[in-house]
């Protein structure tokens, strides 16, 4: 099979080939990395092409989430075949586990499900529906953590089904015939977790045709040997009535062992920490990587964490004012938070170390690095805490030259450090 001709890629190797798409491994010499390239096997009309590119671009902006694959490029080949260039995720798909004689452990299923549910919650908050959540579209990275792929595939698959949902047979929600929706993603994830525990998806969801004939509530075969909390979470998410299912955010919190939802869809502080350095320019966004002692995160675009927290000692700084030389804030209760200024300018796509101190908090707080943008503070939760001496370390990487104002927030205490100025490039 001949590989596609895409500029900037070489060293092609076919990884998989199916009825609807082929997946290639290729090398991108300009950035010295290997990537995965998924190409549709057949042409689609221009309307589908544009829908595919729009959805892929929106999904690319979610790549800061550790449970969503990084998209590097997308386009349409001559002849009308869409393609997408993504991170090469080397651990294989969850589907391979269904071929093994032994079943996946319940604790591992719960943890995997929580990460993917958080990724879906983040996507749904951004108005993005996956549409084909199944074991084949959840890959494992080099750390054995789950990564959701193929956000744009549902558009192409649905093109041959008169716009109906193209959910994977065995993982289609009962309402699949009416089209893809967020509740269908929740069902697909729950069916995937069910399959990991039992070796097969729920028997009532055998394919789109039968799912299309289903309506109302459908009994889920009991999972008597599964932990009660996990069993209850799956039964709720597999409800035949989409309105009765928990949201992806609620499912995430149930799988994490919380009886009530905590935080926003972009609060991924409990996601497994790992080093996933994802340099590159995303579609329509500037890349920002935040690395802590335990992990790295890519921000495709600043994710709002809600209204900026009120500082205890002074109002938010005027962005037009000069940057202080590092600063500290505290509350009457004695919470103190400081971010030290960087040693010097940073280069684009080169990590620069920032250090700071945090004392007087609860000891369970996940700190947030915030960036001043367009008159407000934009935040992303960092999965790290200060060490025993009260110090924390963050590596910030920005891909566009400029002057960036950063601060650190303790969301539990509502305390933010004074901002520091990070200069990238010759700005």
Minimum mean pLDDT among 106-110, 265-269, 352-356: which range? 265-269
Please state, in angstroms and rounded to a whole number, the distance separating the CA atoms of residues 269 and 365. Answer: 10
Q: At what angle do helices 228-237 and 182-198 cross, to 10 degrees?
A: 140
Which pLDDT score is estimated for 37?
94
Residue 387 phi/psi, 5° resolution?
-80, -170
Class of the domain covering 10-87: alpha beta
Minimum mean pLDDT among 204-213, 216-225, 314-323: which range? 314-323
Which pLDDT score is estimated for 365?
56
Dihedral angle over CA of 82, 88, 91, 96, nearest 10: 10
Q: Confidence band (pLDDT; 50, 70, 90) for 234? A: very high
Beta-bridge mates of residue 75: 83
Minimum mean pLDDT among 32-41, 59-68, 100-109, 361-370: which range? 361-370
Per-residue model confidence as pLDDT tens digits over 387-424: 667 788 777 777 778 888 888 877 777 788 888 888 88
Closest alpha carbon to 233 in 251, 249, 220? 251
Res 280 pLDDT > 80: no
Minimum mean pLDDT among 17-31, 78-92, 149-163, 388-402: which range? 149-163
Q: What is the mean pLDDT of residues 332-358?
A: 78
Q: What is the mean pLDDT of residues 193-204?
A: 88
Dihedral angle over CA of 45, 47, 49, 52, nearest 10: -140
Please state, in angstroms and rounded to a whole number, the distance separating the CA atoms of residues 427 and 414. Answer: 32
Q: Confidence band (pLDDT; 50, 70, 90) for 282? A: very low
Q: What is the percentage of the chain residues whose pLDDT exceeds 70?
A: 69
Which pLDDT score is estimated for 260?
41
Per-residue model confidence as pLDDT tens digits over 99-128: 888 888 999 999 999 999 999 998 888 888
Q: What is the mean pLDDT of residues 235-255?
A: 93
Q: What is the percentage of the chain residues whose pLDDT exceeds 90?
A: 25
Class of the domain covering 94-255: mainly alpha
Q: Among the CATH numbers 2.60.40, 2.40.70, 1.10.3110, 1.10.860, which is that of 288-424?
A: 2.60.40
Q: What is the DSSP string of 319-384?
A: TTSPPPSSEEEE-TT--EEEEPPPSS-B-TT--EEEEEEEESS-S-PPPEEEEEETTEEEEEE-S-
Q: Confidence band (pLDDT; 50, 70, 90) for 258? A: low
Which pLDDT score is estimated for 322?
35
Which pLDDT score is estimated for 36?
94
Which pLDDT score is estimated for 161?
45
What are the residue ranges spanned by the domains of the chain?
A: 10-87, 94-255, 288-424
Which pLDDT score is estimated for 169?
74
Which pLDDT score is estimated for 361?
66
Which pLDDT score is estimated for 107?
94
- Do 360 and 390 form a contact (C-beta atoms < 8 A)? no
Which pLDDT score is estimated for 392?
80
Which pLDDT score is estimated for 152?
73
* More confident call, 279 vs 375: 375
Q: Calculate the alpha carbon distances from 36 to 155, 246, 251 in Å.
A: 19, 33, 30
Q: What is the mean pLDDT of residues 190-211?
A: 74
Which pLDDT score is estimated for 251?
95
Minimum mean pLDDT among 180-189, 195-204, 295-304, 354-363: which range? 295-304
Please state, in angstroms and rounded to a whole number, the distance separating the CA atoms of residues 54 and 78. Answer: 19
Res 301 pLDDT > 60: no
Please state, in angstroms and rounded to a whole number, the distance separating the CA atoms of residues 205 and 201. Answer: 7
126-163 per-residue burial string, b: 16 or more CB within 10 A, e: under 16: bebbbbbbbbbbbbbbeeebbbbbbbbbbbbbbbeeee
Helix (H) or strand (E) run with residue 250 in it: helix 248-255
* More confident call, 199 vs 286: 199
Q: Confidence band (pLDDT; 50, 70, 90) for 290? A: very low
Which pLDDT score is estimated for 302?
30
Structure tokens that stand for 87 in this block:
């991170």
Per-residue model confidence as pLDDT tens digits over 159-193: 444 444 455 778 988 887 777 789 999 999 999 99
């Amino acid at each position: 099979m001949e590989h596609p001709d895409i500029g900037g890629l070489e060293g092609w190797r076919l990884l998989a080939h199916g009825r609807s798409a082929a997946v290639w491994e290729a090398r991108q010499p300009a950035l010295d990395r290997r990537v995965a390239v998924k190409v549709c096997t057949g042409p689609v009309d221009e309307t589908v092409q544009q829908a595919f590119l729009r959805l892929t671009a929106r999904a690319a902006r979610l790549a800061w989430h550790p449970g969503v694959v990084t998209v590097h490029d997308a386009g349409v080949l001559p002849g009308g075949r869409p393609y997408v260039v993504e991170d090469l995720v080397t651990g294989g798909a969850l589907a391979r586990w269904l071929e093994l004689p032994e079943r996946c452990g319940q604790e591992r299923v719960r943890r995997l499900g929580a990460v993917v549910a958080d990724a879906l919650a983040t996507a749904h908050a951004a108005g993005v529906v996956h549409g084909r959540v199944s074991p084949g579209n959840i890959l494992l990275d080099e750390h054995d953590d789950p990564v959701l792929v193929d956000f744009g595939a549902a558009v192409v698959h649905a093109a041959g089904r008169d716009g109906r949902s193209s959910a994977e047979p065995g993982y289609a929600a009962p309402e699949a015939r009416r089209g893809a929706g967020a509740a269908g993603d929740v069902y697909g994830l729950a069916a995937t977790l069910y399959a990991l525990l039992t070796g097969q998806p729920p028997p009532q969801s055998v394919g789109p045709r039968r799912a299309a004939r289903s309506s109302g509530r459908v009994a889920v075969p009991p999972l008597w040997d599964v932990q009660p909390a996990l069993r209850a979470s799956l039964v709720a998410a597999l409800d035949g009535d989409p309105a009765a299912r928990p949201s992806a955010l609620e499912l995430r919190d149930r799988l994490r062992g919380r009886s009530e939802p905590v935080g926003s869809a972009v609060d991924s502080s409990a996601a497994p920490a790992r080093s996933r350095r994802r340099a590159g320019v995303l579609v329509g966004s500037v890349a920002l990587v935040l690395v802590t002692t335990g992990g790295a995160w890519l921000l495709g675009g600043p994710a709002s964490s809600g209204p900026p927290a009120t500082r205890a000692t002074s109002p938010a700084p005027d962005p037009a004012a000069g940057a202080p030389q590092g600063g500290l804030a505290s509350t009457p209760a004695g919470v103190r938070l400081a971010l030290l200024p960087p040693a010097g300018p940073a280069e684009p796509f080169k990590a620069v170390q920032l250090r700071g101190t945090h004392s007087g908090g609860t000891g369970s707080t996940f700190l947030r690095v915030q960036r001043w943008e367009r008159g407000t503070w934009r935040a992303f939760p960092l999965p790290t805490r200060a060490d025993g001496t009260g110090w924390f370390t963050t590596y910030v990487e920005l891909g566009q030259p400029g002057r960036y104002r950063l601060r650190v927030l303790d969301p539990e205490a509502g305390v933010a450090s004074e901002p520091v100025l990070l200069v990238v490039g010759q700005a």
